[in-house]
Amino acid sequence: MTTTPVKPNTSLVAPANSPLKTPGLLSGEFFQETFALARRLFIQLQRRPSTLIAGIIQPLLWLVLFGALFQNVPEGLFGTSQNYGQFLGAGVIVFTAFSGALNAGLPVMFDREFGFLNRLLVAPLASRFSIVLASAIFITALSLIQTAAIIAVSALLGAGLPGPLGLSIVTLIVLLLVLGVTALSLGLAFALPGHVELIAVIFVTNLPLLFASTALVPLSFMPTWLQAIASLNPLSYAIEPIRYVYLHTHWSLSSVVLQAPWGSVTMGVALLVLIGFDALALISVQRLLRRTLA
Amino acid sequence: MAPAVLIQNLQKRYGPVEAVKDVSLTVEPGQIFGLLGPNGAGKTTTLRCLCTLTKPDLGIVEVAGVSAIKNPKKARQLLGYVAQEVALDKVLTGRELLQLQAALYHLPRAVAAERIKATLALLDLDNYADQKTGTYSGGLRKRLDLAAGLLHQPVVLVLDEPTVGLDIESRRVIWDFLRQLRDSGTTVLMTSHYLEEIDALADRVAIIDQGKVIAEGTPSELKDQVGGDRITLRIREFAPLDEAEKAKAMIQALPFVQDVLINPDQGNSLNLVVVPQSEALSTIQQALKEVGLPTFGIAQARPSLDDVYLAATGRTLLDADVAASGKRDPKAERKQNMR
Ligand SMILES: Nc1ncnc2c1ncn2[C@@H]1O[C@H](COP(=O)(O)OP(=O)(O)O)[C@@H](O)[C@H]1O
Ligand SMILES: [Mg+2]
């Protein structure tokens, strides 16, 4: 480097009086920065694929092991499912997407802690929302890959395969769930003081929400108090529609997918609940993100 | 033409700590401007306010006439910031980091490719560009960070302690580079707590202590202001105190001598402040000989920036630095500064 001559390079000087425009949300610049930030996350994934591999193997182990555990359960116990594996498939799809999305805030938290976020904050980003959007895109892609793997393996295990329309409903539900949970996790990543606290929150939300949902057993198995909680749990509203399209070739928005203590929930209502959950999540973190990222 | 950087009456406190009490400085385009001060003086806080990472409590902060407080997005386009601590993504290669950086500053693809190539060559990073930054040495990391700060050709490059913790060779390389950069027209605002660094590089310097600017000017102006030359005299390698006292009394009586101090840390050597004159050394030696005292070593020098700092604060930069670094809690500050 000592020998590198530096030509008096006038192009190194930006004209101080050049008209400066500042691009905003949804500009080409916004997409450029979002794409670049998402690319970074995908490169990290490609160089350190262990998270993805573990994220695919874990749900498959759930399917195989839990399926085997309850193999000899009398037929008809799990509603209309032919076997527990078929019953469990929907639960594993939703729970996997949920835990993935819950972890979305961790890389952002580490960027805050290591000072990498400062690099982004001193740059003239069109909108700092690109930082959030890039993470959301990344987590969504990850969840879809995991979902596809689970669907494929459970089909091999004899759980069957929904039709094309059924599969699109599964995808839609996964996307809705991931969107809301990712938003909450990213919000936490900016609100909490450090990764220790974030991991603690993830830890105390993850499994309780799983057990207080219809992922592992139907509502009818639970004591009344747990039934009440499970039928308020957004996870149940994601699980039951998926379970329904797995079991019924014919379904519509008015098909009843869940018998809650206070009445029946149709496919359409379940979807509305998920959309409502997203709206609530986005509104509640928007303020927070605006404060830290404005 | 607006100054490259204008900071007026900047104030910033963290709870009970007044990190910056009153800082004003003007950086003209094309200069290397040095902010010199001991650890804890408020240098980093000042730069964080300039680079829109921290909102000042009070004061004016402008980059090329653009207010960093009212118009932060425009100010960010004009600034390149290289933080005190290098934060790279260790999984990315150097080239990938620069590509990300280029996109964050919205360089078109073709321009980005060309600039990355040129900047890598400029900082002699070609051979490392496709290795992960996790494998880089400290000097390499700093050079890549510098490259990232320069990629969008900022009007002002802001460097926080650019050579702290680096070996002599890396430090010299960065010094050379900064001079070349200045000569090609980029304004550089840098902090340091090494006075040799500021002395060697800066066209203008502001000395900052406990959140206030205590002196400002070109290095030689500042040294001229403290006035007098400095003479270090050693009678013997380790002089007994009574001999040193005797010499002191005798030298103090000389007409051109303003001040004499005995430095017990340096074998009771004598530190003199004298009115600059060419015969000072021979006159002193002659006078010593007359009272039967030897001369082990004697040297005359112009005042250093340390003397400037000493004159203003009553302690040396090194003492202030050591005293301050024990008092800080870097972990807690990092938490605080997290965004
Ligand atoms: N985030 C912070 N929270 C509390 N105190 C801080 C914080 N940042 C800096 N300080 C304090 O403000 C003073 C100035 O710090 P800084 O600007 O980092 O000084 P310098 O860069 O000159 O070493 C120090 O006393 C430091 O301990
Ligand atoms: Mg500092």
SS3 for chain B is CCCCEEEEEEEEEECCEEEEEEEEEEECCCCEEEEECCCCCCHHHHHHHHCCCCCCCEEEEEECCEECCCCHHHHHHHEEEECCCCCCCCCCEHHHHHHHHHHHCCCCHHHHHHHHHHHHHHCCCHHHCCCEHHHCCHHHHHHHHHHHHHCCCCCEEEECCCCCCCCHHHHHHHHHHHHHHHHCCCEEEEEECCHHHHHHHCCEEEEEECCEEEEEECHHHHHHHHCCEEEEEECCCCCCHHHHHHHHHHHHCCCCEEEEEEEHHHCCEEEEEECCCCCHHHHHHHHHHHCCCCCCEEEEECCCHHHHHHHHHCCCHHHHHHHHHHHCCHHHHHHHHCC
CB contact under 8 A, B83 and A44: no
CA B121/CA B136 separation, integer angstroms: 17
What percent of chain B has a predicted confidence (pLDDT) above 70?
Answer: 100
pLDDT band at A74 (very low <50, low <70, confident <90, very high): confident
- Closest ligand to Cα B207: 1
The average pLDDT across A234-247 equals 94
**Cα distance between residue A163 and residue B167, in whole Å:** 66
| Closest-approaching ligand to the CA atom of B339 | 1
At A27, is the pLDDT very low, low, confident or very high (cuts 50, 70, 90)? Answer: confident
Q: Is the CB of B207 under 6 A from ligand 1?
A: no
Domain ranges in chain A are: 28-293
pLDDT at residue A167 in the model: 95
Q: In the structure, what pLDDT confidence band is assigned to residue A183 with cuts at 50, 70 and 90?
A: very high
User: Residue A188's pLDDT band (boundaries 50, 70, 90)?
Assistant: very high
Best residue among B21, B328, B335 to mutate for probing ligand 1, ranked by most atoms within 8 Å of CB: B328
Query: What is the Cα–Cα distance from A54 to A38, expressed in whole angstroms?
Result: 21
For the segment A135-179, what is each residue's pLDDT rounded down to a tens digit?
Answer: 999 999 999 999 999 999 888 888 889 999 999 999 999 999 999
Q: How far is A144 from chain B (nearest CA, A)?
A: 24
pLDDT tens digit string along B143-168?
999 999 999 999 999 999 999 888 88
Q: Which CATH superfamily is domain B5-91+154-223+315-338 in?
A: P-loop containing nucleotide triphosphate hydrolases (3.40.50.300)
What is the distance between the alpha carbons of residues A48 and A233, in angstroms, rounded to a whole number? 33
B182-231 pLDDT, tens per residue? 999 999 999 998 888 999 999 999 999 999 999 999 998 988 888 888 89
Whole-prediction pTM: 0.86
What CA–CA distance (Å, rounded) separates B34 from B146?
A: 17
Which ligand has the nearest atom to the CA of B36? 1
Is there a contact between B298 and B289 (Cβ–Cβ < 8 Å)?
no
Q: Which of B66, B74, B104 sits opposite A125 (nearest CB)?
A: B104
Torsion angle in degrees (nearest 10) through CA of B236, B239, B242, B247:
40
The average confidence (pLDDT) of chain B is 91
- pLDDT of A1 reads 41
What value does the mean pLDDT take over residues A32-44? 97
Q: What is the mean pLDDT of residues B227-244?
A: 88
Would you say residue B232 has pLDDT above 80?
yes
What pLDDT score does B314 carry? 76
- The yes-or-no verdict on residue B123 having pLDDT over 50 is yes
Reported ipTM: the value is: 0.85
Confidence of residue A20 (pLDDT cuts 50, 70, 90): low
A36 contacts B99? CB cut-off 8 A: yes
Q: Which of B53, B91, B103 sits opposite A32 (nearest CB)?
A: B103
Choose which residue among B7, B11, B23, B45 to substitute to test ligand 1 binding: the one with the highest number of ligand atoms within 8 A of its C-beta. B45
Fold of B228-302: Alpha-Beta Plaits (3.30.70)
Nearest CA to ligand 1 atom 10: B19
pLDDT at A16: 43
Task: Report pLDDT for B106.
Answer: 96
Q: Give B39 to chain A, closest Cα distance, Å.
A: 20
pLDDT number for residue A294: 66
Give the pLDDT confidence of A251-272 residue by residue, as tens digits. 999 999 998 888 899 999 999 9
Question: Does residue B89 surpass a pLDDT of 90?
Answer: yes
- Residues A152, A149: Cα–Cα separation, whole Å: 5
Confidence bin at A289 (pLDDT 50/70/90):
confident
In this predicted structure, the answer to whether residue A23 has a pLDDT above a threshold of 50 is yes
- Mean pLDDT for chain A? 88
Contact A126, A34 (CB under 8 A): no
Assign A21 a pLDDT band (cuts: 50, 70, 90): low
Let me know: does B23 contact B178? Beta carbons within 8 Å. no
- CB B121 to CB A44 under 8 A? no
State the count of interchain CB pairs (< 8 A) between A and B: 137
| Contacts by residues B204-207 (CB-CB < 8 Å, ≥ 24 positions apart) | B204/B27, B204/B28, B204/B31, B204/B32, B204/B33, B204/B34, B205/B33, B205/B34, B205/B35, B205/B36, B205/B305, B206/B23, B206/B25, B206/B33, B206/B34, B206/B35, B206/B36, B207/B36, B207/B37, B207/B305, B207/B308, B207/B309, B207/B312
**CB atoms < 10 A from the CB of A11, how many?**
11
Q: Please count the residues of chain B.
A: 339
CA dist A71 → A65, A86, A89, B59, B201 (Å): 10, 11, 14, 72, 77
Distance B37 CA to ligand 2 centre (A): 9
Residue B11: phi, psi to the nearest 5? -135, 135
Domain ranges of chain B: 5-91+154-223+315-338, 228-302
- For B249-303, the pLDDT digits (tens) are 888 888 899 888 888 877 888 988 888 888 888 889 888 888 888 889 998 888 8
B325 vs B34, more confident: B34
Residue B131, pLDDT above cutoff 70: yes
In whole angstroms, give the CA distance from residue A203 to residue A197. Answer: 10
Could B186 and A12 be called an inter-chain contact, meaning their C-beta atoms sit closer than 8 Å?
yes
> What is the pLDDT, as a whole number, of residue A6?
40
What pLDDT is attached to residue A12? 39
Question: What is the C-alpha end-to-end distance of chain B, expressed in Å?
Answer: 34
A116 vs B336, which has greater pLDDT?
A116
DSSP-based three-state secondary structure for A104: coil
DSSP three-state, residue A10: helix
Check A20 against B101: CB less than 8 A apart: no
CA B298/CA B268 separation, integer angstroms: 13
- Model confidence at A60: pLDDT above 70: yes
* H runs (alpha helix) in A6-104: 28-47, 50-69, 84-102
Residue B329, pLDDT above cutoff 50 = yes
Three-state SS for A13? coil
According to DSSP, the residues that pair with B159 across neighbouring strands are B82, B190
For residue A222, give the DSSP letter.
S
